[in-house]
Structure 1
Amino acid sequence: MLVADRYLLGELLGRGGMGEVWQAQDQVLGRQVAVKLLLGDDADESAASRFRLEAQTAARLNHPQVVAVYDFGAWEGRFYLVMELVRGPSLAQELTTYGTLAPDRVAGMAAQAAAGLAAAHRQGVVHRDVKPGNLMLDADGTLKIGDFGIARFVDETSTALTRVGQIVGTSTYLAPERALGRMAGPASDVYALGCVLYQLLAGQPPFWADSPTALLYLHVDAAPVPPRQHRADVPPAFEAYLLRMLAKQPEERPSAQEVADWFAGTSWREAPRPAAVPMPAPAAQ
């Protein structure tokens, strides 16, 4: 199948709530790419302009930890997005294969993912859908973030059924402020990344419930079980910082750049520093 008279589709790489991803050959430039065909048959003029804006936003992000966007458009009533082909598994596949990952490997992934998010946040771009399926590993182990900006577009333009699917799919990683109906901000991405890191360490997300509504209440009201209760080899400092990323109030979370810098160093291996105790005032003479 030839998309837009240019992209020859090959192997189906994945299918999810937002559409299908195919390995393809760019017949013009002669290179392998990934083509995402988004669900829906509503490629009307207003939807097309919104998608164009989101895709242009994603294409502005030039960072080693962000999947590059090459092209976008509408074809046979569906939107398509042409991206860099990442040849490794997603973190969702890693979780399926291994269940949990070692803390040192999770720390390396945290540093890379947060660096990519920080680069986007500096451009005023919030991902809105950070989850294991959108974090991919290249053949050399480099982590790359996909689907920048596209989650909001799909949520705005898809059918009601697809929107319900999106809520079910993303509420596992949904920040409390978003569960309360507020706009997503950079801190929302940090919270979602914290949920992903927690799942990589513990083998389960910080919150889970049988219904999306009950799950949203947990994000808003419940305290996560400290990861060290799931596995003792998580360093105490790692646990303490991860729980900061999962703070209920956005302003209490570190920025993505702070997360990237912290996990790129060695502090996560150490015991957390005790809080400073104020010295008593000298007794009056």
Structure 2
Amino acid sequence: MPNPGDQVDHYVITRPLGRGGEAAVFQGQDLRTGRPVVLKFFDPTQLGEIAAYERFRREVTIGRLLRRPGIPAVLDVHEDAKPPYLVLEYMEGQSLRTILQESPRLPVPRALQIITNLAELIAYCHQQHVYHRDLKPENVLVDTDGSVRIIDFGIALLDGAPRVTWRGFSGLVGTPEYMAPEQIRGERGGPQTDVYALGVILYELLAGHPPYHSPNPLSTMYQHLNMTAEPLRKLRNDVPDHVAALVAKAMRRRKEERFADAGEFVAALAHPDQVDLSIVDRPDPPLSSPVSESLIKNPLVVLGLVAAGTAIAILLAEALLRR
């Protein structure tokens, strides 16, 4: 992988932005235009795997398809370079994660402004049959005027894209705190998957923490499937009833009970008088064998659940999942 100061073709790498299991991301400068860019270098050893290569090709296709301010455009593709890399539009803004670290609970109007702008971008993606599948504060940039940018479409899905072979438990895609139940159960995900993440993010903006969280990612996933999140109105009495109801609907465990897509979510934000307030008190049954919430706090119980959950997930995935 290159390092800051290196020149690759007509791009100079200026600073690292992040590194994951399949790619390293840097800010760079285009020497021809002088403008800043993002360079995403893919680990060539990973691209030898069908799933990783398919995600690379999918990211290229999606980047060329989506053309809207707030979504980084693919400017250049160097598939035959060593290592292969993409050149993406550089997006200004402060990470939403950084904002939450500085001020964990946002004022209600600001939280609604951010989530509305984010949901509008996701609604555009859904219109193009693109599903992000990894929405989280780290992948959202917020400018000083409140406008929002989405980054990292690395595991985004284009409707109709071919499936590739799933190769073990690590093939689950997403971040545990923001994963919808269907992702945890091994499904590919769709528009309702992003709706669930929008609900989780809005919950966090208002509560100061995600609805489900644990030091152990498998325990967090178990909570999504079985536990009941603390109601927003219990945590903050200044949260309007319609906002609490909107979050509750977006976070329903069964995807068919959520908003159908981000467009419906945006419409509900715009028309609070049409939000069904009764959903806050409606039961949302667990999706697997329930364990009492007092027991889940016991470390030995958690370890047992983690061990059992891991074994079941691996067996089911190896037998059934084909990505």
Fold-level similarity (TM above 0.5): yes
Which runs of no fewer than 5 residues in structure 2 stay unpaired? 159-163, 280-323
Shift of 1:40: 6.0
Q: Residue 17 and residue 88 in structure 1: after superposition, are their counterparts in 2 closer, same or farther (change >3 A)?
A: farther
Which residues of 2 match residues 161-240 of structure 1 at below 5 A?
163=170, 170-240=175-245
Aligned to 1:262: 268
- Flag the 1:160–1:217 CA change in 2: closer, same or farther, 3 A: closer
Q: How far did 1:149 drift?
A: 4.5
1:41 aligns with 2:41: no
Secondary structure of 2:265's partner?
helix
Q: Report SS of the residue matched to 2:37.
A: strand
* Percentage of identical aligned residues: 35
> SS where residue 67 of structure 1 aligns?
coil
Q: What TM-score results when the alignment is normalised by the length of structure 1?
A: 0.81
Q: CA deviation at 1:232?
A: 1.8
Preserved CA contact (<8 Å) 2:39 2:85: yes
CA contact (8 A) 1:90 1:134 kept: yes
Determine helix, strand or coil for the equivalent of 1:233: coil
Matched with 1:55 is 60
Q: Distance in 1 between matches of 2:187 and 2:167?
A: 22
Moved segments of 4+, more than 6 Å:
156-161
Question: Against the structure 1 CA distance between its residues 240 and 40, is the aligned structure 2 distance closer, same or farther, given a 3 Å change threshold?
Answer: farther
Match of 1:108 in 2: 113
Deviation at 1:258, TM superposition (A): 1.6
**C-alpha separation in 2, matches of 1:78 and 1:36:** 10
1:61-109 Cα shifts (integer Å, max 9, x gaps): 1122322222233476444332222222111111111112111111111
Residues 217 and 50 of structure 1: CA distance in aligned 2, closer, same or farther (over 3 Å): closer
Q: Of residues 30, 40, 47 in structure 1, which corresponds to 2:34?
A: 30
Name the amino acid aligned to 1:218: Q
* Residue 39 to residue 142, structure 1, CA distance change in 2 (3 Å): farther
Deviates further, 30-39 or 82-91: 30-39
SS in 1 for 2:41: strand
Change (3 A) 1:96 1:37: farther
| 1:256 positional shift | 0.2
2:124 counterpart (113, 116, 119): 119
Task: Specify whether residues 138 and 24 from structure 1 end up closer, same or farther in structure 2 by C-alpha distance, changes over 3 A only.
Answer: farther
User: Comparing 12-21 with 64-73, which one deviates more in the overlay?
Assistant: 12-21
- The more displaced of 47-56 and 221-230 is 47-56
How many residue pairs match? The answer is 268
How big is the shift at 1:219?
Answer: 0.7
* 1:160-185 CA-partner distances (Å, limit 9, x unpaired): 89x48x86x70110101111112211
Do the aligned partners of residues 158 and 178 (structure 1) sit closer, same or farther apart at CA in structure 2, a change above 3 Å counting?
closer
Contact 2:55 2:154 in 1 (8 A): no
1:217: how far off? Answer: 1.5
> CA offset at residue 9 of structure 1?
0.9
How many angstroms apart in 1 are the aligned matches of 2:147 and 2:87? 20
Query: Are the equivalent residues in 2 in contact too, given 1:86–1:139 (CA < 8 A)?
Result: no
CA offset digits 1:107-132 (Å, max 9, x no partner): 11111111111111121111111111
CA contact (8 A) 2:58 2:157 kept: no
* 2:86 counterpart SS class: strand
Residue pairs, 1:146-157, within 5 angstroms: 146-150=151-155
2:12 counterpart SS class: strand
Preserved contact between residue 127 and residue 151 of structure 1 (Cα < 8 Å): yes
Contact 1:8 1:26 in 2 (8 A): yes
The Cα shift of 1:7 comes to 1.5
For residue 195 of structure 1, report the CA deviation from its aligned partner.
0.9
In the alignment, what sits opposite 1:99?
A: 104
* Cα distance in 2 for residues equivalent to 1:220 and 1:240: 19
Partner secondary structure for residue 57 of structure 2:
helix
Could you tell which deviates more after superposition, 104-113 or 80-89? Answer: 80-89
Matching residue of 1:130: 135
Structure 1 5/150 Cα, relative in aligned 2: closer, same or farther at 3 Å? farther
